[in-house]
Chain A
Amino acid sequence: MEQKKVESNAGNWKEYTRVLLPPVRDLHRLDVYEKQGGYSALRSVLKGDKWDPKSVGDAVKSSGLRGRGGAAFNAGLKWSFMPPVDERPRYLCCNGDESEPGTFKDRQLMEYNPHLVFEGILIAAYSMSITTTFIYVRGEYADWIKHMEGELKKAYDKGFVGKNIMGTDFSTDIVIHKGAGAYICGEETSLMESLEGKRAYPRSKPPFPAAYGVFGMPTTINNVETLACVPLIIDRGADWFAGIGAKTHAGPLLYGISGHVNRPGVYEYPSGMLMTDLIYDVCKGMRGGKKLKAVVPGGSSTPVLRADMIEGVCMDSDSLRAVGSMLGTGGMLVMDEDTDMVKWLRRVSHFYHHESCGQCTPCREGTGWLEDLVGKIDDGEGNLRDLDILIDLCYQMEGRTVCALADAAAWPVRYTIDRFRSEFEAKCRASHVATGDLQIA
């Protein structure tokens, strides 16, 4: 079969030089980081004449940097929602509660380039006049928390964080907060509840965090990777950043690729990479030469794509939306022809059932029901009516809860059944033969 010639939105990605995770030995060490030009962006922001808080925000806005946590909202625009400075403290949250199955990119930043994250936080703090930044890291990342705390202390000792940073009158603090292991804490408002020491129930919005955030104060919350992009924008210019990768989703992107590929891992490339390039070129193809069956583009909650759907699809929001999925966190799950999609869905449904916080009725009751039904089909005891109920339940859950976890739980079910219906039907039919149930032909 002749391959269609398709253009990648990533441009000439083979010549791309890594900027988020550059190949420098011991870059996590403050001295190495500084030698590589680290904290120069912060210095120019704080000490140069070129920048003031507003122009930093404008640069981030015009760079086209979109949130890397899944919602892909324009980061600079989000910053601009902060109310004018008054006597209240203002907070920034750096969301490192990376818990979506298939996502493991922030961990790399925290391990190999923590100072880039700190520098991004400090510049963002300067732009929004932040008093304190909380880096909320999931509890399972205990090693990385320890690692970052050590590096943060060095940055404090050096006067890069804390009182009168670099001798200027700008002061801001960074606190690393350890989560206790709940997926829901990655949701921005429940992260704030968790920070406050409360049960991590997402808050009903509005009010939005900029108006009523941590401890009721104005708060902005960004993903680790989003904040790590900020020093690059300051250093090299918004135009440089906007010129990388897909036009509507600019910048470098960390692709966390897992599953049945020969070389899974986190890869930094421009946004808008062809999915086929990532699988067959970057990850050196499918494991064992097997055929590709399905790809989940951005963490387990994003709608799954069949192998025949990914031809010419690029890893950016618009391209993926056109084909019926989302970029999410950029954590790709690649599945080969041997994968049982019913079993896969059963595992995913189990995850969302286990992680539903239980605040809203549709999610609390629906996630368990979904898992029960998928499990029933997987056990060969289902019938076709169960598929209809599954789709119905998805409809009953989507968009009817405080946060998006119900959607995240319903989408995999809805789209996996939609796109792999024959596999589900095959398991149902088998059960009719086995039980002698001939009522449904």
Chain B
Amino acid sequence: MPKVTIDNKVYEFEGRPKLLQFCMEHGIEIPYFCYHSAMSVPANCRQCLVKVGNPQVDRATREPVLDDDGNPVIQYFPKLQTSCSMDMTDGLVVHTHRTDELVARAQRDNLEFLLANHPLDCPICDQAGNCPLQNQAYKYGPEGSRFEFDKVHKPKKIELGPRVMLDGERCINCTRCVRFTSEISKSNQLTIIERGVKNYPLTPPGVVFDEPYSMNVIDICPVGALTSKDFRFRARAWEMSKTPSIVTGTSRGSNCYYWVKDNEVMRITARTNVEVNGYWLADVDRLNYRKFNDARPLGPDMVSEGARVSTDWDGAYERAATLLRGVSGDEVLFIGSAHASVEDNYLLMKLADHVGASAPVYIPHVEAGSGDDWLVTDDKAENAQGCERLGMHPVDETVVRARLDSGAIKLVYVMDEDPVASGLFTADQLKSVDVVLHYYNTTNETFPVANVSLPAATIVETIGTFVNDQGHAQRVRPVKAIQSMNRSLMMETGLSRQDRHATPFDKWSKAENKVNCQPGWVTIPEIASRLNLDLNYKSPKAIMAEIESSNPAFSGATYDAMGLTGARLAEVGTTV
């Protein structure tokens, strides 16, 4: 196998990778700005310079030339080379800034140039704290600047489109955003204008940067030049926790980070998962986070003597159990949810089985033609595939409507769904029956007709497994805290700097942003125990372990196997 020597250490490689990509994959840090694994290599930031050479070969004998000590003589390239554009060849000898002072100096020099006309407005910049330029300037840059002239002034506060703002002065002209629109999204809505030191990206005349993937350029911008109109000036990077999870509103399960401050989701950014979403995220998936913060229920409530009263959790569980006890199994319609995790649906199936009802159905959320052939899917629910693999099926509307109207159904048990808003039933139809509802938001249109309503933890407050439309099983982690203490949730919760170090007087610790809700894997076992069914598992991990070992459609989907990037499940005959 061909070998490369990097900083006096020998590595083996296959094919002809680019040197920088190889170093990134092997934990050898080299500073860079313009390179991106998914895009072409313009080698324009000139930051990743390294010293490169090949062993000298005697022309006549084809033998390597050795020096007096018997070591091969290395013939170095006359100039430093950009590692991003350097094709690796057998025998290549590389020196980074760790082993070569000239390389370290070149990288320092380059950062001095980059910072010469950079406004250095880090104190008011959204990118600060999470900024490749800032990080690498501290790490590899000069200690001060010798530049003592007026900086170049360029337009600031440019609205590129409905979602992206540009500060021309912060731009370091890496052209990542331009390459994104020309190579990845192919919208060609951005280009570099002006020349030389006045360069900055802009839309061509008459064009608005409104493509459905526009916000990815904010993620890949190595400085704070491109900012989100939605997020800008709302939080500093170090005030937020950043938790890996998946987005909602699409069955693709694109990987993302949730950024949380004061126990509220502030923004969603893309997380790399080459098998699912690559490096990208659709704009709609980023901007739908407000549902996690706004219109959340205050706590469980129920209808008592014709009036809605709030209650404690035990009261709500007891009422739900009472309603279930009061009807026979075939009089209950269980509605599971393609928004809920595999674990929650699995527990609901067990409960339905226990009371003698038929298996739960789920409401499909397919909007035909609304997807593209990339990350936006027709199916707007996250876990339809997971429901199918559990053995649940889409609701047969005509059948259940007929049963409801004929009075055959006396109790509708809804988990994490909204049958009224999705058009399955009307609110009037449901008034004639009892309704138990697990729900996310008070905007839920079934909520006004529910007899017992239990606030449910959303995808950002729970632990669970979701299977995307390609059969990729992925875990979600709690991104923000809920009011009640839960050992499993606490062990998985990501912490921001303030969560760990701030004082109790800071706003973050106020309970008002913590929602009084419970995950399904807490509420359903509570109700079940009142019906003499023991569904108490140690943790969601144990639930999934049981599903994995008992249901071949989930073979391989243990929490450990899914990790951060998920596990690809085998194809099954029944797909959505």
Chain A residues near B (Cβ < 8 Å): 182, 199, 201, 204, 353-362, 364-369, 372, 376, 389, 395-396, 399-402
Contact with A along B96-113 (1 / 0, CB 8 A): 000000000010011011
Choice from A357, A369, A401, A402 contacting B195 with Cβ under 8 Å: A357
Choice from B78, B82, B196 contacting A364 with Cβ under 8 Å: B196
Shortest C-beta distance, A440 to chain B (Å), equals 16
Q: Is the CB of A358 within 8 A of B79?
A: no
Q: Is the CB of B114 within 8 A of A361?
A: yes
Q: Is the CB of B46 within 8 A of A353?
A: no
- Known: A353-B196, A367-B196, A368-B152. Is A201-B114 also a contact (CB below 8 A)? no
Cβ-based interface call for B194 (8 A): yes
CA distance A204 to B80 in the complex (A): 14
Shortest C-beta distance, B534 to chain A (Å), equals 65
Q: Is the CB of A399 within 8 A of B80?
A: yes
- Known: A204-B85, A400-B79. Is A364-B199 also a contact (CB below 8 A)? yes
Choice from B80, B117, B197 contacting A356 with Cβ under 8 Å: B197
Choice from A368, A372, A401 contacting B196 with Cβ under 8 Å: A368
CA distance A225 to B421 in the complex (A): 77
Interface pick from B37-45, B229-237, B371-379, B434-442: B37-45
CA distance A315 to B371 in the complex (A): 67
Choice from A355, A359, A399, A401 contacting B173 with Cβ under 8 Å: A359
Shortest C-beta distance, A109 to chain B (Å), equals 29
Q: Is the CB of A362 within 8 A of B42?
A: no
- Known: A204-B41, A400-B49. Is A362-B113 also a contact (CB below 8 A)? yes
Q: Is the CB of A400 within 8 A of B147?
A: no
Shortest C-beta distance, A365 to chain B (Å), equals 4
Choice from B106, B146, B147, B197 contacting A358 with Cβ under 8 Å: B197
Identify the closest chain A residue to B116 (Cβ): A365
**18 new A-B contacts at CB < 8 Å, known A358-B194, A359-B42:** A199-B191, A199-B192, A204-B41, A204-B43, A353-B196, A356-B197, A359-B175, A361-B46, A361-B113, A361-B114, A362-B46, A368-B152, A368-B196, A369-B116, A395-B109, A396-B110, A399-B80, A400-B49
Chain A contacts for B199, CB-based, 8 A: 358, 364
Chain B residues near A (Cβ < 8 Å): 41-47, 49, 78-80, 82, 85, 106, 109-110, 112-114, 116-117, 146-147, 149, 152, 172-173, 175, 191-192, 194-199
Shortest C-beta distance, B568 to chain A (Å), equals 36
Q: Is the CB of A204 within 8 A of B196?
A: no
Chain B contacts for A366, CB-based, 8 A: 113
Q: Is the CB of A396 within 8 A of B113?
A: yes
Q: Is the CB of A358 within 8 A of B42?
A: no
- Known: A204-B42, A362-B46. Is A357-B109 also a contact (CB below 8 A)? no
Q: Is the interface of A mostly helix, strand, loop or mixed?
A: helix
Q: Which of A355, A365, A366, A402 has most chain B Cβ within 10 Å? A: A365
Chain B contacts for A402, CB-based, 8 A: 43-44
Q: Is the CB of A369 within 8 A of B149?
A: yes
Q: Is the CB of B43 within 8 A of A356?
A: no
Q: Pick 6 A–B contacts, CB within 8 A, sort by A.
A: A360-B44, A364-B197, A369-B149, A372-B149, A389-B146, A400-B49
Identify the closest chain A residue to B109 (Cβ): A396
Identify the closest chain A residue to B150 (Cβ): A372
Identify the closest chain A residue to B43 (Cβ): A204
Identify the closest chain A residue to B82 (Cβ): A204
Q: Is the interface of B mostly helix, strand, loop or mixed?
A: loop
Chain B contacts for A369, CB-based, 8 A: 113, 116, 147, 149
Q: Is the CB of B113 within 8 A of A356?
A: no
CA distance A356 to B194 in the complex (A): 11
- Known: A362-B109, A400-B80, A400-B106. Is A356-B196 also a contact (CB below 8 A)? yes
Shortest C-beta distance, A409 to chain B (Å), equals 11
Chain B contacts for A364, CB-based, 8 A: 113, 173, 196-197, 199
CA distance A159 to B363 in the complex (A): 75
Shortest C-beta distance, A371 to chain B (Å), equals 9
Identify the closest chain A residue to B47 (Cβ): A361
Chain B contacts for A389, CB-based, 8 A: 146
Chain A contacts for B82, CB-based, 8 A: 204
CA distance A372 to B116 in the complex (A): 12
CA distance A359 to B113 in the complex (A): 13
- Known: A353-B196, A396-B112. Is A361-B45 also a contact (CB below 8 A)? yes
4 nearest A-B residue pairs (beta carbon): A358-B199, A365-B113, A396-B109, A356-B196
CA distance A402 to B45 in the complex (A): 10
Identify the closest chain B residue to A199 (Cβ): B192
Q: Is the CB of B172 within 8 A of A356?
A: no
CA distance A365 to B42 in the complex (A): 18
Chain B contacts for A376, CB-based, 8 A: 149
CA distance A364 to B175 in the complex (A): 14
Shortest C-beta distance, B97 to chain A (Å), equals 14
Chain A contacts for B110, CB-based, 8 A: 361-362, 396, 400
- Known: A401-B46, A402-B44. Is A361-B197 also a contact (CB below 8 A)? no
Chain A contacts for B78, CB-based, 8 A: 399
Chain B contacts for A359, CB-based, 8 A: 42, 44, 173, 175
CA distance A361 to B47 in the complex (A): 8
Shortest C-beta distance, B100 to chain A (Å), equals 15
CA distance A356 to B173 in the complex (A): 13
Q: Is the CB of A368 within 8 A of B173?
A: no
Chain A contacts for B172, CB-based, 8 A: 361
Identify the closest chain A residue to B79 (Cβ): A399
Chain A contacts for B116, CB-based, 8 A: 365, 369
Chain A contacts for B173, CB-based, 8 A: 358-359, 361, 364
CA distance A391 to B199 in the complex (A): 26
Q: Is the CB of A365 within 8 A of B80?
A: no
CA distance A27 to B173 in the complex (A): 48
CA distance A101 to B43 in the complex (A): 28
Q: Is the CB of B46 within 8 A of A358?
A: no
Q: Is the CB of A365 within 8 A of B114?
A: yes
Chain B contacts for A372, CB-based, 8 A: 149
Shortest C-beta distance, B481 to chain A (Å), equals 44
Choice from B44, B117, B191, B195 contacting A365 with Cβ under 8 Å: B117
Chain A contacts for B191, CB-based, 8 A: 199
Chain B contacts for A204, CB-based, 8 A: 41-43, 82, 85
Chain B contacts for A400, CB-based, 8 A: 46, 49, 79-80, 106, 109-110
Q: Is the CB of B113 within 8 A of A358?
A: no
Shortest C-beta distance, A216 to chain B (Å), equals 12
Shortest C-beta distance, A214 to chain B (Å), equals 17
CA distance A358 to B172 in the complex (A): 10
Chain A contacts for B149, CB-based, 8 A: 369, 372, 376
Chain A contacts for B147, CB-based, 8 A: 369
CA distance A87 to B42 in the complex (A): 28
CA distance A182 to B196 in the complex (A): 11
Q: Is the CB of B197 within 8 A of A201?
A: no
Chain B contacts for A356, CB-based, 8 A: 195-197
Shortest C-beta distance, A196 to chain B (Å), equals 13
Identify the closest chain A residue to B42 (Cβ): A204
Chain A contacts for B106, CB-based, 8 A: 396, 400
CA distance A351 to B56 in the complex (A): 41
Q: Is the CB of A201 within 8 A of B113?
A: no
Identify the closest chain A residue to B45 (Cβ): A361
Identify the closest chain A residue to B113 (Cβ): A365
Shortest C-beta distance, B175 to chain A (Å), equals 8
Shortest C-beta distance, B340 to chain A (Å), equals 50
